[in-house]
Chain A
Amino acid sequence: MEYGVVYLVLAAAFGLFMAWGIGANDVANAMAPSVGSKVLTIRQAVVVAAIFEFAGAVLAGGEVTATIRSGIVETGALEDSPELLVFGMLAALASAGTWLLIASKRGWPASTTHSIIGALVGFAIAAVGWSAVQWGVVGTVVASWVVSPVLAGIASFVLFRSVQYLVLDNPDPLRAARLWVPIYIGLTAFVIASVTMVKGLSHLGLELTEAESYGYALAFAAGMWLVGKGLVARISIDPSADRDFHFASVERVFGVLMVVVACAMAFAHGSNDVANAIGPVAAVVSVVTSGGDVGAQAELPLWILLLGGGGIVAGLFMLGHHVIATVGSNITQLTPSRGFACGLATAGTVVFASGFGLPISTTQTLVGAVLGIGLARGIAALNLRVVGGVFMSWLVTLPAGGILAIFFFYLLLLAFGG
């Protein structure tokens, strides 16, 4: 390939920039509940997010990356002109990045997932035609955008009801919290660990059977339960705060849980959203290194996952702390008992989707989970107009991503004369 190295460098740079943007902006929603409820300081939140976003991206980001890399565009149609695929993938990154910049400057709700999928579909239609889109996969992905908030909403409703039943409604909620919070910690650990291990860590050279995976996940959960018990026992009660608001100490116990859930959220977010940045990069790398074979199905090189994880961490450290502080100070209604239910429902749904290679929007899933708590009469005020806007945003984001991708595609075509 004539400009092979140039393509590689461009792809890596664009991918790094996307990952940086995800770290700077998107991670905030995952970490804000724990900062807003003062469970973590911003500095601690950034460190927790960095570790677990990176771990999620590297350990569980492979499946979604595969979908973005080769599941949306019907590469067979581009066999004779591999450059077109390279331009398309670069255009998709440029388009999604541009749209997200515009949207976040204007305060519009937009998800990286929606813009990258819109961009890929737009490019495929422009470059080849309708037949160049794998409509079956796209259909499944779009369906998952509807299903994921609903699923998270149901899960958070059930989880919050269990918190009500087991702890808050108890005549001695503090004692009940000390008993149940470590169990919830174990549950969170089990959900994340089992989904991650069952869906495979084979790209790290770990081959586990299903039974082994569940066994290890269970052992991990038991370990976390013991850690949780130790931490909960160290929570001191504050009688003066309790006089003002009777559940202050109970919420402090839930704060321990909130930290674990924040880790799970960051892990889940990393596992799903890293693909938006590195999926196209992986496609470009695969085409270039195979010398123009668009159908090459080489293993995803680990360095690409590291690039994505590193980009997210960089964005987080450079701008993320600022965004986390802003979001956190605005969502104080999401106290630890609620933040836990929302967080576990979201993390579970997102990790599950990651396991099946479905790129979904973490924020929409989280909003679905918040609504679930609202339906359980757990949140004092939700602005339904904004909620509607969040859910409708992808109707705008998809075509916007597509049109921008077509624009960048022809620009690249012009520049490299492909």
Chain B
Amino acid sequence: MKSYFSSIFGRSPVSPLQQHMAKVLACAEALLPLFKAVSEGDYNAVATAQQRVSDIEREADALKKELRDKLPHSMFMPFDRADFLELLRAQDRIANKSKDIAGLVLGRKMQLPEPLVDPFMDYLNRAIDASRQAKNTVDQLDELVETGFRGAEVEVVQEMLDKLDAIEHDTDRMQVQLRSLLQKLEPRIPPVDVMFLYQLIERVRSLADRAQQTGSRLQILMAR
């Protein structure tokens, strides 16, 4: 005997989305050992670290595809299906950018000039903080479903999104400082390397930006 009543309930996409975000954050965080290896000049370790970033990115991609496949149009959810898929895409773009950064560093065997190491690591950490905060916010989605996207819980999430914006703003400010520091070092570094260092700074900035975009996507999904 089979019950048709229970089959009206689809599988909740919320928990798979949160798992994807956890994977995405792991991917961004894998940049930390990579740059540590760069600052130590250990290019074997850089290659290993790059491989790890790339592996995690692939795992996140697989989660994304699996989730997309399990979301037919006939699924009725407390949010718009398109908004949900956009949020998923925004999350995935963080992993893509992490892989992109790791690839650039390994491909060009980039080096960080000594005066740049500490400020850069702070900057990178702050950019990853944005992803951490994005993950914390996405983790609230089951609470949002519980409350039906209303009341005190919405305010909690709103505050978390404000904090995410503040973190992103920090990286903006840090980028300006880092660029001016790099400008002072320009005469001592080969010009092509300088060019790529500017690019690296720009890409890390974009990493934070994508975390913020994930937050915006969540906000749109909430508002429906």
Cβ A382 vs Cβ B13 within 8 A: no
A417, B186: Cα distance in complex, Å: 110
Instruction: Tell me, rounded to whole Å, the shortest Cβ–Cβ distance linking A101 to chain B.
Output: 9
| B113 close to chain A: CB less than 8 A | no
Nearest A residue to B13 via CB reads A381
A246-264 interface bits toward B, Cβ cutoff 8 Å, 1 = contact, 0 = none: 1100000000000000000
In the complex, which residues of chain A have a beta carbon less than 8 angstroms from the beta carbon of B3? Answer: 28-29, 32, 323, 326-327, 330
Tell which of A25, A367, A374 touches B76, judged by Cβ atoms closer than 8 Å.
A374
Cβ B6 vs Cβ A327 within 8 A: yes
Tell which of B7, B145, B146 touches A330, judged by Cβ atoms closer than 8 Å.
B7
| A147 close to chain B: CB less than 8 A | no
Cβ A168 vs Cβ B146 within 8 A: yes
| B173 close to chain A: CB less than 8 A | no
**Known contacts A168-B151, A169-B152, A170-B151: A323-B1 contact under CB 8 Å:** yes
In the complex, which residues of chain B have a beta carbon less than 8 angstroms from the beta carbon of A165? Answer: 151
Instruction: Tell me, rounded to whole Å, the shortest Cβ–Cβ distance linking A167 to chain B.
Output: 9
| B100 close to chain A: CB less than 8 A | no
In the complex, which residues of chain A have a beta carbon less than 8 angstroms from the beta carbon of B143? Answer: 245-247
Cβ A104 vs Cβ B2 within 8 A: yes
Instruction: Tell me, rounded to whole Å, the shortest Cβ–Cβ distance linking A268 to chain B.
Output: 15
A164, B78: Cα distance in complex, Å: 15
B1-44 interface bits toward A, Cβ cutoff 8 Å, 1 = contact, 0 = none: 11111111111111000000000000000000000000000000
| B147 close to chain A: CB less than 8 A | yes
Cβ B149 vs Cβ A377 within 8 A: yes
B143-172 interface bits toward A, Cβ cutoff 8 Å, 1 = contact, 0 = none: 101111111110000000000000000000
| A410 close to chain B: CB less than 8 A | no
B125-155 interface bits toward A, Cβ cutoff 8 Å, 1 = contact, 0 = none: 0000000000000000011011111111100
Q: How large is the interface on B (under 10, 10 to 19, 20 to 34, 35 or more residues)?
A: 20 to 34
Nearest A residue to B224 via CB reads A377
Nearest A residue to B141 via CB reads A380
Cβ B147 vs Cβ A380 within 8 A: no
Chain A CB within 10 Å, residue with most, of B1, B153, B224: B1
Cβ B5 vs Cβ A32 within 8 A: yes
In the complex, which residues of chain B have a beta carbon less than 8 angstroms from the beta carbon of A107? Answer: 2, 4
Cβ A382 vs Cβ B10 within 8 A: yes
Tell which of B7, B11, B142, B148 touches A168, judged by Cβ atoms closer than 8 Å.
B148
Instruction: Tell me, rounded to whole Å, the shortest Cβ–Cβ distance linking B119 to chain A.
Output: 36
Cβ A381 vs Cβ B12 within 8 A: yes
Cβ A32 vs Cβ B6 within 8 A: yes
| B74 close to chain A: CB less than 8 A | yes
Cβ B148 vs Cβ A381 within 8 A: no
Cβ B74 vs Cβ A380 within 8 A: no
In the complex, which residues of chain B have a beta carbon less than 8 angstroms from the beta carbon of A322? Answer: 1
In the complex, which residues of chain B have a beta carbon less than 8 angstroms from the beta carbon of A363? Answer: 4-5
Interfacial residues of chain A within 312-370, with CB under 8 A of chain B in the complex: 319, 322-323, 326-327, 330-331, 333-335, 337, 363, 366-367, 370
A12, B19: Cα distance in complex, Å: 56
Nearest B residue to A246 via CB reads B143
In the complex, which residues of chain B have a beta carbon less than 8 angstroms from the beta carbon of A173? Answer: 152
In the complex, which residues of chain A have a beta carbon less than 8 angstroms from the beta carbon of B14? Answer: 380
| A78 close to chain B: CB less than 8 A | no
In the complex, which residues of chain B have a beta carbon less than 8 angstroms from the beta carbon of A240? Answer: none
Tell which of B1, B79, B146 touches A247, judged by Cβ atoms closer than 8 Å.
B146
Using a Cβ–Cβ cut-off of 8 Å, how many residues does chain A contribute to the interface with B? 52
In the complex, which residues of chain A have a beta carbon less than 8 angstroms from the beta carbon of B149? Answer: 377
Stretch of A1-9, A127-135, A386-394 that contacts chain B: A386-394
A287, B34: Cα distance in complex, Å: 89
In the complex, which residues of chain B have a beta carbon less than 8 angstroms from the beta carbon of A25? Answer: 1
Cβ B150 vs Cβ A169 within 8 A: yes
A333, B78: Cα distance in complex, Å: 13
A335, B146: Cα distance in complex, Å: 9
**Known contacts A246-B143, A323-B1: A383-B13 contact under CB 8 Å:** no
**Known contacts A164-B151, A245-B142, A383-B9: A108-B4 contact under CB 8 Å:** yes
| A109 close to chain B: CB less than 8 A | yes
**Known contacts A374-B78, A380-B13: A168-B4 contact under CB 8 Å:** no
A384, B81: Cα distance in complex, Å: 13
Instruction: Tell me, rounded to whole Å, the shortest Cβ–Cβ distance linking B224 to chain A.
Output: 8
Cβ A331 vs Cβ B6 within 8 A: yes
Nearest A residue to B5 via CB reads A29
Cβ B75 vs Cβ A382 within 8 A: yes
Instruction: Tell me, rounded to whole Å, the shortest Cβ–Cβ distance linking A349 to chain B.
Output: 16
A379, B4: Cα distance in complex, Å: 18
In the complex, which residues of chain B have a beta carbon less than 8 angstroms from the beta carbon of A28? Answer: 3, 5
In the complex, which residues of chain B have a beta carbon less than 8 angstroms from the beta carbon of A108? Answer: 4
| A376 close to chain B: CB less than 8 A | yes
Interface residues of B (CB under 8 A from A): 1-14, 72, 74-79, 142-143, 145-153, 224
7 other contacts beyond A323-B1, A382-B75, with CB at 8 A cut-off?
A29-B5, A107-B4, A330-B7, A377-B79, A381-B76, A383-B75, A385-B74
4 closest Cβ contacts across the A-B interface? A169-B151, A381-B10, A330-B6, A107-B2
